[in-house]
Amino acid sequence: MKVLITGGMGYIGSHTCIQLIAAGIEPIILDNLCNSKEIVLQRIAAISGKTPDFYLGDVRDRALLDKIFSEHEIYAVIHFAGLKAVGESVAKPLEYYDNNVHGSLVLAEAMRDAGVKRLIFSSSATVYGDPQEIPIKETTATGATTNPYGRSKYMVEECMRDLVNADPQWSVTLLRYFNPVGAHESGTMGEDPQGIPNNLMPFIAQVAVGRREFLSVFGDDYPTVDGTGVRDYIHVVDLADGHVAALNKASPKHGLHIYNLGTGNGASVLEMVAAFSKASGKEVKYQVSPRRPGDIAECWADPSKAMLELDWSPSRDLETMTTDSWRWQSNNPNGYQE
């Protein structure tokens, strides 16, 4: 079975390729390398023993998509490709809508014309905005997003919902991620953000390894266990396994399928700092800064639907997440080197 992975060289995409290969599935990677490195392909091959076919290009390139679909008998598409920094999306909304929304539409059109109607979409818990209930269920209201990144994910979800309504032969699975962290246990693959990290774990890791002086903790006056924001952190390999499960369980079924991928537990910023300090044996210096606009106090998932219907459950705890992250960062202090 061949599956097209858009954005397959990125953090989540690359780990998903590893898990797909382990499950006997052949990933075909499309990536423009705007937030990834070509050396990732070598790391995938070293871990899995197989080198996936790789196409360097953009998901908005219709001619390239047609070429891929003509050269391979694609069973389904897992669509990771997209810009993902909340702060950057506020500064560059047009770029985010063009890449994330327009790119998804070009992909869906190419899939339709190629007769490939199974899609797993990399969505986000940001579609829930400031959630009306905790833990967050798939039935929790969406759309009240707080930034263009979240709105772009919500827009694509709605486009896919309309697509399934118009053509019931489609199978579209929306996977709403919470906060992916961790790295492959080998220490050879992990998160390598370009520039200043936008997510907590890589920033903590870069402070611990000496690349950053300190972590800025945005707000310590939230109504949480220690005043800092609480989030649901999920190991990237557990998240990757969720895609394999969705491919096996949901994609054979027509219609729209929606799942939260999280652990069902929340951890605060300072709890993450303490856990990483313990895993690394390094002090993680931090300074408290004012709250960021749009941030919410707490957010974690109810993953019971995915656990029941996909026969999937996250198995890696906070200690494993931080230990694997430190192994990756300490082995690769400057990320992927070419």
Report CA 121 to chain centroid distance, whole Å: 10
Q: Give, to the nearest 10 degrees, the angle between helix 148-166 and helix 103-114.
A: 20
149 assigned to active site: yes
- Amino acid at the residue 276: F
Nearest by Cα to 319 from 200, 118, 181, 122: 181
Nearest by Cα to 209 from 274, 276, 270, 289: 276
Contact indicator for 180, 261 with CB cutoff of 8 Å: no
Catalytic residue among 11, 149, 177, 222: 149
Q: Show Cβ contacts of residue 297 under 8 Å, excluding neighbours closer than 6 positions.
A: 222, 223, 224, 229, 230
Q: Measured between alpha carbons, how far is 140 from 227 in angstroms, rounded to an integer?
A: 25
Antiparallel, parallel or unpaired: β 267-268 and 230-231: antiparallel
Contact indicator for 39, 64 with CB cutoff of 8 Å: no
146 by DSSP, 3-state: which?
A: coil
Contact indicator for 119, 68 with CB cutoff of 8 Å: no
Which letter, b or e, does each residue of 29-61 get, where b requires 16 or more Cβ atoms within 10 Å of its Cβ? bbbbeebbbeebbebbeebbeeebebbebbbbb
| Positions marked active-site | 149
